[in-house]
Amino acid sequence: MKKKLFVMAVAVMSVATFSSCAKKGCTDSNAENYYEKAKKDDGSCTYKSSIAFWYSQSTSDALWNDGSDALYFYVDNKLIGSSAADTYWNKPTCSSLGPVNYTFDLGKSKTKTVSYKVKDDLDDIINEGNVTLKGGECTIMEVVYP
């Protein structure tokens, strides 16, 4: 009888000990590997961020009138896409990023500053600058010309 009570007591204490341990994982809801059951962040969070470019009809018309046939989009000097200059869009949303977009793997960094450049087929720079991307978010950039 004492042996049964001892075994039951050990079992109850074991269950109480293991069930009270905080689950570890990524607790940042902006991370790709967010674990909602985690109570304690273990530093494993990884992030992605998207950037999308668009331009309006007035920009398209101005480019076309100045002899541009196409636009080329670069991020950190890497070509991420191109588009005909006579094609234009309404401002996209994060759920419909549009035809010229790119997703970055930020790794464990929550942010990353990148350079961007938009050039036409005449090799003229239409827009350029820097933008800080944030993990779990998208950045929508309007190309304005002139």
Predicted local confidence at residue 76, as pLDDT: 98
pLDDT value for 109: 98
Give this prediction's pTM. 0.81
Per-residue pLDDT at 96: 84
Per-residue DSSP letters for the chain?
-HHHHHHHHHHHHHHHHHHTSPPEEB--TTSTTB-TT-SEE-S---EEEEEEEE--HHHHHHHHHTT--EEEEEETTEEEEEEETT---PPPBTTB--SEEEEEEEET-SEEEEEEEEEETT--EEEEEEEEEETT-EEEEE----
Model pLDDT, residue 45 = 98
What pLDDT is recorded for position 22? 78
The domain spans of the chain are 2-41, 47-142
Bridge-partner residues for 8, per DSSP? none
63 half-sphere exposure, CB direction, 13 A CA radius: 30
| pLDDT at residue 112 tops 90 | yes
In the predicted structure, residue 94 carries a pLDDT above the cut 80: yes
Q: What is the pLDDT of residue 2?
A: 61
Mean pLDDT of 75-96: 94
Does the pLDDT of residue 100 top 70, yes or no? Answer: yes
Q: Is the pLDDT of residue 11 over 70?
A: no
Q: Decide: 34 and 27 in contact? Cβ < 8 Å.
A: yes
> What's the pLDDT at 102?
94
What is the overall mean pLDDT for the chain? 90
Chain centroid to Cα 26, Å, comes to 17
pLDDT digits (tens, 9 = 90+) for 41-61: 999 999 999 999 999 999 999
Which amino acid, residue 92? P
Over pLDDT 90: what percentage of the chain?
79
Say which CATH class 47-142 falls into: mainly beta
pLDDT at 99 over 90: no
